Amino acid sequence: MDGLDALKAKYLEGVSGAGDEAALEELRLAALGKKGEISLKMRELGRMSPEERQTTGAALNRLKDEIDAALRAKKAALADAALDERLKAEWLDVTLPGRPRRMGTIHPVSRVMDEVTAIFADMGFAVAEGPQVESDWYNFDALNIPPEHPARQEHDTFFMARAEGDNRPPHVLRTHTSPVQIRAMTEQGAPIRVIAPGRVYRMDMDQTHTPMFHQIEGLAIGRDISMANLKWVLEEFFTAYFGVKVKTRFRASHFPFTEPSAEVDIQCSWVDGQLRIGEGDGWMEVLGSGMVHPKVLAAANVDLAEWQGFAFGMGIDRMAMLKYGIPDLRAFFESDLRWLKHYGFTPLDVPTVFGGVGG
């Protein structure tokens, strides 16, 4: 037993003086490993008498447990000491206020789309949606745009590639949201009253044009709908959107999908370089409109003898520029956080049917 007492003193002293986990691991292997001193002594039990084996085996097991317990306690103590040192080096006052996080803002295009949708919803218009990659038929043919029309040319339209030998007309990135009107009439029939907001694509880039922009188009089909209804809807919309009474002026124009067609101007003036909507003797063109062409109704399987209606379309981005004084359309898509902070809206703002936002 004297030898076991010496082993116990040796390893407990070693454990107590170990400075790191690597030193502890060396002691563990030396004492309790397969070739450790205590393990070797356990092997000698087979050569002892039953009485000696019982006494010596119990003593070896106690020694083994004591050393193992000492190793575990020292390992925990070393971990606690390391944590204390780390906390001293990485000290943090948890009572200090948290770091402020800048609140994000809503993009003007998203805000205006919500405003416009809310206003038209108040007048009974539902929202219709459609794909941004359209077939030639929906984007052109169904809208009475013949193959020779300039809108089909490469300088205006993004055409999708076809496999070699595939002679079908290529799909396109939709150049307007008018195809949504065709889809809505085809699926729902008449009467119908919808708006179609969304992204559209054209090959153009300057201060007032971008290759991708946003449109919203409106469609109303009924038995007795006329241009007078169209004028009332647009004036009610502009009045709600700009927050002032707005007069409109219709000028004869031409669009393949409407007949008669009209460009719509709104009353405005310039005072000290600032645009003022709804006052003065000036006019600004803002959208195109007209009565839906009979060929368009026929393409959507609407009975021409019973139904008629109007359609209009305007640029969401341009409406945002007019209302919020944004000078350059290209800035909408440049991902400038300073610009977005200046022109953006807080997430808790909600659009109202009177235009603008309310808390």
pLDDT in tens, 303-356: 999 999 999 999 999 999 888 888 888 888 888 888 888 888 877 766 554 444
39-43, 259-263, 270-274, 278-282: segment of lowest average pLDDT: 39-43
CB-hemisphere CA count at 13 Å for 241?
30
Cβ burial of 101 (10 Å; 0-12, 13-18, 19+) is exposed
Residue 44 has pLDDT above 90, yes or no: no
In order of 72, 74, 227, 312, 348, the CA distances from 68 in angstroms are 6, 10, 95, 85, 61
Q: What is the pLDDT of residue 238?
A: 94
User: Is residue 94 in some structural domain?
Assistant: no
User: Is residue 103 in some structural domain?
Assistant: no
Q: State CA 269 to chain mean position distance.
A: 37
Domain boundary (62, 89, 116) is at 89
333 residue type, one letter: F
**Number of domains, the chain:** 2
Instruction: Let me know: does 45 contact 64? Beta carbons within 8 Å.
Output: no
Output the average pLDDT for the chain: 85
Same domain, 247 and 324: yes
Q: What is the pLDDT of residue 351?
A: 55
User: Is residue 95 in some structural domain?
Assistant: no
pLDDT in tens, 56-76: 777 777 877 888 888 888 888
pLDDT in tens, 77-109: 888 888 888 877 777 777 888 888 877 888 899
Domain boundary (61, 89, 117) is at 89
Cβ burial of 246 (10 Å; 0-12, 13-18, 19+) is buried
User: Is residue 101 in some structural domain?
Assistant: no
Domain boundary (89, 124, 147) is at 89
Alpha-carbon gap, residue 215 to 197, rounded angstroms = 6
pTM of the complete model? 0.67
Burial 5-33 (b: 16+ CB within 10 A, else e): eebbeebbebbeebeeeeebeebbeebbe
Q: 């971008």: which residue's tokens?
A: 210
Q: What is the CATH number of the domain that holds 318?
A: 3.30.930.10
Same domain, 174 and 291: yes
User: Is residue 354 in some structural domain?
Assistant: yes
Q: Does residue 298 or residue 101 have the better pLDDT?
A: 298
Same domain, 245 and 335: yes
| Domain hosting residue 173, numbered range | 108-358
